[in-house]
Structure 1
Amino acid sequence: MAQARTGRSAQGRANLYEQITNRIIAELEAGRVPWVQPWGSAKAGVGLPFNAVSDRRYSGINVLTLWNAIVSRGFTSHAFLTFRQALALGGHVRRGEQGIGVIYARRFIPREERRRADSEGRDPSGGIPFLKWFTVFSVEQCEGLPAKICEPPPPIPEGLILPQAQALIDATGADFRIGGPSAFYSPAHDYVQVPRPDDFHDPINWHRTAFHELGHWVGGTSRLNRDQTGAFGSVAYGKEELVAEMAGAFVCAALGIAPTVRHADYIGSWLEIIREDNRAILRAASAASKAADYLLAFRPEAATAANDDEDPDDPAAGALDGRVAA
């Protein structure tokens, strides 16, 4: 009997893996990359799906599964919960609603191993890996839930993103996403993500972060093609960070935005790079100027300025070009 149960369990896991794999293959064959959510076609803002009761974020393949549901079904919230969790909150899933299957990986420790571990005063080891399948529902598929569970993230307050900054970001055409807990540029998927401006202690500093990450975006392979392969903590990584930081500062200055200075720990890491190579700051400033110019060229007024003849006697002309920093 135990062998029969084990056989069914193994078959169930194989079927589950196959279902998930087939869905991902179908997405790729349709020209969609499931780990780069098509936020432009989604009603929800950028974010990661989470359990509405525990606030814990779903992870792994469940992120892709729930993103797919958010986009394909037009949900505006990233919050999900089980049928029983909805009941425990005093609500219920609406009749006829179709749930979404998510998985939970666990390890089964046989009773004999638990007993042996207890007698030896240690934690149980080994175990048999298995997947549990759960069905979850969007909070938008439920009724009677507490209001705080159903509330979508509030819109970004008017005025926190300065209009000149918003206009430039829009003009770049970059895949620029707002939300989540961290700021980064993904070279592999070519998008920028930054937290909401109201997540910053001083919202004005959102602009520095936004243009810092766009400074990385400009360095992407299809644009200025800077070396962005340095591992975190490496010298190459630090140099790229320095370029992006200066590029962000240059753009903010051009737009009349004055964020506060970076924390001392950032400055310390840059000093180390500059002290080890007396040309590092020249190269970084040159690359940052090119990045800032690239971004600022998207402004409508930049087209007019580009038609003006350059004065060869102007000492500012070419002062930060690549030849200086060679």
Structure 2
Amino acid sequence: MAHSTSRSAKAKRRAANAQPERISLYDEVTAKIIAQLEEGHFPWVQPWASGPAAIGGALGPGLPRNALTARCYSGVNILILWGAAIDRGYPSQSWLTFKQALDAGGNVRKGEQGTTVVYADRFTPETEKERARERGQDAKSIAFLKRFTVFNIAQCEGLRPSLAAEPAPLPECQIILIAEDVIAASGVEFRIGGDRAYYMPSLDVVQVPPQPAFYEQVNYYRTCLHELTHATGHPSRLDRNLKNGFGSKDYAREELIALSGQSAPSATLQ
């Protein structure tokens, strides 16, 4: 009996230790996303590269992927890796673990800092399967979350050239005449440059990043239409209240208006 009690105590201690780790990991990922929001970056929406990536060449299109297996990352890892690539100006969306870099014939450069990603899944302990069989019930699975570190291939050296190929580069510029006509006919001053997209009601000005900075170039025009829809609220046009605090109901309403203006005509841009 004492032996059984000892094993039970050990199991409880392991469970107690694992729970804070899982909570800590959730908090860590949440904090990263909140930090990006506070900086004005929306990694699941922003379709262009900012910072050094926008200056040195747009980040490749598509999802972050493993350079050795070509498998795309999923879930919250997409946001984590997009955010890391944007913040650090990596020109690639290909990533490797430290060991995979060695397996690929190279190594991570000394002093490079990796990016933490997570793996979430569920498993069913054998004891739970046995209990379910005895009682004729469905076995209950347990969720788990574990972290591991990856490095962008820009942080590595000596990698063999036969790794998963990067997506084909986008053309330097893709002109869609109907969208250009809409922009020209709007009468709104339109500026191209920087790494932010916005409409400034006080000056009645729209500014968007240059088209080559966008992962998918059609999103350049979608962004243009989004900001131009905000401009329809100017006092000289529909006179909507555009001085809304972030997170307020009026702010959300205005964003829905801009999204409808962006999405309604954008089907014709494909």
SS in 2 for 1:24: helix
Does the CA-based 8 Å contact 1:104-1:132 persist in structure 2? yes
Q: Does 2:219 match 1:193? A: yes
- Measured on the aligned residues, the alpha-carbon RMSD in Å equals 4.2
Does the CA-based 8 Å contact 1:139-1:149 persist in structure 2? no
The match for 1:10 among 9, 19, 24 is 19
Q: Does 2:119 match 1:104? A: yes
Does the CA-based 8 Å contact 2:61-2:167 persist in structure 1? no
Answer 1 or 2: higher relative contact order, Cα 8 Å, separation at least 6: 2
Judging changes above 3 Å, is the alpha-carbon distance between structure 1 residues 226 and 134 closer, same or farther for their aligned structure 2 residues?
A: closer
SS in 2 for 1:130: strand
1:227 and 1:127 map into 2 onto residues whose CA distance is: 40
Judging changes above 3 Å, is the alpha-carbon distance between structure 1 residues 77 and 105 closer, same or farther for their aligned structure 2 residues?
A: same
Please state how far the C-alpha of 1:5 moved relative to its aligned partner: 0.9
2:161 and 2:124 map into 1 onto residues whose CA distance is: 40
Judging changes above 3 Å, is the alpha-carbon distance between structure 1 residues 149 and 222 closer, same or farther for their aligned structure 2 residues?
A: farther
Deviations 1:253-294 (A, max 9, x none): xxxxxxxxxxxxxxxxxxxxxxxxxxxxxxxxxxxxxxxxxx
2:96 and 2:143 map into 1 onto residues whose CA distance is: 24
SS in 2 for 1:147: coil
In the TM superposition, 1:123-162 aligns within 5 A as: 125-149=139-163, 152-156=166-170, 161=174
- How many pairs align? 206
2:259 and 2:35 map into 1 onto residues whose CA distance is: 33
Does the CA-based 8 Å contact 1:215-1:244 persist in structure 2? no
Question: Which one has a bigger Cα radius of gyration?
Answer: 1
Match of 1:49 in 2: 64
Judging changes above 3 Å, is the alpha-carbon distance between structure 1 residues 163 and 113 closer, same or farther for their aligned structure 2 residues?
A: closer
The match for 2:98 among 76, 83, 88 is 83
Please state how far the C-alpha of 1:20 moved relative to its aligned partner: 1.7
Does the CA-based 8 Å contact 1:100-1:135 persist in structure 2? yes
Match of 1:39 in 2: 49
Q: Mark the runs of 5 or more structure 2 residues left unpaired by the alignment.
A: 1-9, 185-189, 193-207, 234-256
Does the CA-based 8 Å contact 2:66-2:95 persist in structure 1? yes
Q: Does 2:77 match 1:62? A: yes
SS in 1 for 2:99: helix
Does the CA-based 8 Å contact 2:70-2:164 persist in structure 1? no
SS in 2 for 1:28: helix
The match for 1:24 among 18, 23, 33 is 33
Q: Mark the runs of 5 or more structure 1 residues left unpaired by the alignment.
A: 180-190, 195-209, 230-236, 250-326
Please state how far the C-alpha of 1:226 moved relative to its aligned partner: 8.4
AA partner of residue 17 (structure 1): Y
- Using the aligned pairs only, state the percent identity: 38
1:99 and 1:70 map into 2 onto residues whose CA distance is: 11
The match for 2:87 among 72, 76, 93 is 72
SS in 1 for 2:143: strand
Does the CA-based 8 Å contact 2:179-2:269 persist in structure 1? no
1:170 and 1:88 map into 2 onto residues whose CA distance is: 51
SS in 1 for 2:122: strand
Given the two structures, how large is their TM-score scaled by the length of structure 2?
0.59
AA partner of residue 79 (structure 2): L
AA partner of residue 68 (structure 1): G
Judging changes above 3 Å, is the alpha-carbon distance between structure 1 residues 29 and 193 closer, same or farther for their aligned structure 2 residues?
A: closer
SS in 2 for 1:58: coil
Does the CA-based 8 Å contact 1:80-1:138 persist in structure 2? yes
SS in 2 for 1:9: helix
Judging changes above 3 Å, is the alpha-carbon distance between structure 1 residues 126 and 193 closer, same or farther for their aligned structure 2 residues?
A: farther
Runs in 1 of length 4+ with deviation above 6 angstroms?
163-172
Given the two structures, how large is their TM-score scaled by the length of structure 1?
0.50
Judging changes above 3 Å, is the alpha-carbon distance between structure 1 residues 248 and 31 closer, same or farther for their aligned structure 2 residues?
A: closer
Does the CA-based 8 Å contact 2:49-2:215 persist in structure 1? no
Please state how far the C-alpha of 1:215 moved relative to its aligned partner: 10
SS in 1 for 2:73: coil
